[in-house]
Amino acid sequence: MTFCHVPATPIGVPETVKRDLIDLAVLGGRPEFTEPVLVGRPSVGDRARFLERADRALVRRRLSNGGPMVREFEHRVAGRAGVRHCVATCNATLALQLVARAAGLRDDVVMPAMTFPATPHALSWIGIRPVFCDVDPVTGNLTAGTVRAALTPRTSGIVAVHLWGRPCAVPELEELAARRGIPLLVDAAHAFGVSRRGRPVGGSGAAEVFSFHATKVVTTFEGGAVVTDDGELAARVRAMASFGMDSSGQVRGPGINAKMSEAAAAMGLTSLEAFDVTVAGNLANYRTYARELAGLPGIRLMRHDEDERGNFQYVVIAVEGGAGLDRDTLATVLAAENVVTRAYFSPGCHRLPPYDGPGTPSLPHTDRLAGQVLALPTGPDVGVHDVRRICAVIRLAVAHAAALTTRPVVAPAG
Contacts to ligand PLP by CB under 6 A: 91-93, 115-116, 118-119, 161, 187, 189-190, 211, 213, 224
Q: 119 or 156: whose CB is closer to ligand PLP?
A: 119
Distance of CA 158 to the CA centre of its chain: 19
Least Å from the CB of residue 375 to ligand PLP: 11
Least Å from the CB of residue 266 to ligand PLP: 17
Say how far apart CA 98 and CA 118 lie, in whole Å: 14
User: In sequence order, what are the residues at sequence separation of 6 or more whose Cβ sits closer than 8 angstroms to the Cβ of residue 237?
Assistant: 87, 95, 98, 99, 102, 207, 226, 228
Q: 95 or 335: whose CB is closer to ligand PLP?
A: 95
Q: 97 or 332: whose CB is closer to ligand PLP?
A: 97
Q: 16 or 119: whose CB is closer to ligand PLP?
A: 119
Q: 115 or 146: whose CB is closer to ligand PLP?
A: 115
Please, are residues 158 and 176 in contact by the beta-carbon 8 Å criterion? yes
Least Å from the CB of residue 162 to ligand PLP: 8
Least Å from the CB of residue 117 to ligand PLP: 8
381 φ/ψ angles, rounded to the nearest 5 degrees? -95, 5
Q: 168 or 398: whose CB is closer to ligand PLP?
A: 168
Q: 219 or 288: whose CB is closer to ligand PLP?
A: 219
Say how far apart CA 309 and CA 251 lie, in whole Å: 42
Q: 93 or 195: whose CB is closer to ligand PLP?
A: 93
Task: Give 301's strand partners.
Answer: 317
Q: How far is CA 165 from CA 58, 230, 311, 316, 326, in A?
A: 35, 23, 7, 11, 25
Least Å from the CB of residue 306 to ligand PLP: 24
Least Å from the CB of residue 219 to ligand PLP: 10
Helix (H) or strand (E) holding 385: helix 384-399
DSSP one-letter string for 181-203? T--EEEE-TT-TT-EETTEETTS
Distance of CA 232 to the CA centre of its chain: 28
222 φ/ψ angles, rounded to the nearest 5 degrees? -125, 140
Q: 126 or 409: whose CB is closer to ligand PLP?
A: 126
Please, are residues 43 and 217 in contact by the beta-carbon 8 Å criterion? yes
Least Å from the CB of residue 331 to ligand PLP: 19
User: In sequence order, what are the residues at sequence separation of 6 or more whose Cβ sits closer than 8 angstroms to the Cβ of residue 274?
Assistant: 43, 44, 45, 46, 380
Least Å from the CB of residue 236 to ligand PLP: 20
Query: Which of 287, 291, 398 minimizes the C-alpha distance to 11?
Result: 291
Least Å from the CB of residue 216 to ligand PLP: 6
Long-range contact set of residues 248-257: C-beta below 8 Å, sequence gap at least 24: 254/101, 256/94, 256/97, 256/98, 257/90
Q: 116 or 192: whose CB is closer to ligand PLP?
A: 116
409 φ/ψ angles, rounded to the nearest 5 degrees? -110, 155
Least Å from the CB of residue 189 to ligand PLP: 3
Least Å from the CB of residue 344 to ligand PLP: 8
Say how far apart CA 322 and CA 329 lie, in whole Å: 14
Q: 16 or 211: whose CB is closer to ligand PLP?
A: 211
Say how far apart CA 160 and CA 173 lie, in whole Å: 8
Say how far apart CA 1 and CA 289 lie, in whole Å: 31
Helix (H) or strand (E) holding 112: strand 108-112
